[in-house]
Amino acid sequence: MVKIAVCGAAGRMGQRIIVAAKEAGCTVSGALERPGHELVGQDAGLIAGCGALGVAISTISTPWSRGCDVLIDFTTPKVSLKNLEVCSLKKKAIVIGSTGFTPEERALAAELARDIPAVLAPTCRSGQRLLQGIEGCCQDPGDDFDVEIVELHHNKKKRLTVRNCRAHGRGRGRGPGRDYNKVANYHREGICGERTKEEIGMQTVRGGDIVGEHTVTSSAWESGSRSPTAP
């Protein structure tokens, strides 16, 4: 029976993981939260809504690796890297769902995970993973395509997930591509002028308990005339 420790156990994803682990017949051996969290000391199963597990939520600083086979971490890059370092030393498997990693942090994570089973998946929704693969639309659309993205999430979402998409154009034989970090336009108001050929419009909606919806629209235009030819 797989023994799982969950870091970020009191959060939305942490609670869902605890429920899923119980349903799958796994053992929740540890539940971790940041020091000072109001739910430290509470039964992780009761907090998750799946019944008492006899596992109290403890702080991240508490030794947790002894009784687990795998750590599932949905926290922050800084915390995840520290946990990954422990897993590397203790030869434990780890799944990281934290978002917001910089390229340098990703490189460090890859180095730390070199000798252990590890998954770094900043988003675990299948639709979002599919969206990350729309390279023809985002990576190298060419100047004759206007790309607009709309992202919808619940009101507790802390980060812009689409920012992690592979929209960093590097060219694939059709041109130099676009660098999302340079051309993304997050705000339009008043007389903002015509959009540039390079920009990628990025609009966000936050509300209620929306699990996550992402829409990419790529509109083609006749070169020079800027009149629509195909949605």
State the catalytic residues.
153, 157
Residue among 123, 207, 196 nearest 162 (CA): 123
Q: 75: which 2 tokens?
A: 């926290």
Residue with tokens 């999302």: 180
Residue keyed to tokens 């030869």: 91
In contact, 6 and 18? CB cutoff 8 Å: yes
Instruction: Give the count of alpha carbons within 13 A of 77, CB side only.
Output: 14
The answer to whether the beta carbons of residues 221 and 148 sit under 8 Å apart is no
Cα–Cα distance list, 73 to 17, 70, 172, 177 (Å): 10, 10, 35, 34
* C-alpha distance across the termini of the chain, in Å: 51
Residue 202 tokens, joined: 């990025």
Q: Are 45 and 31 in contact (CB under 8 A)?
A: no
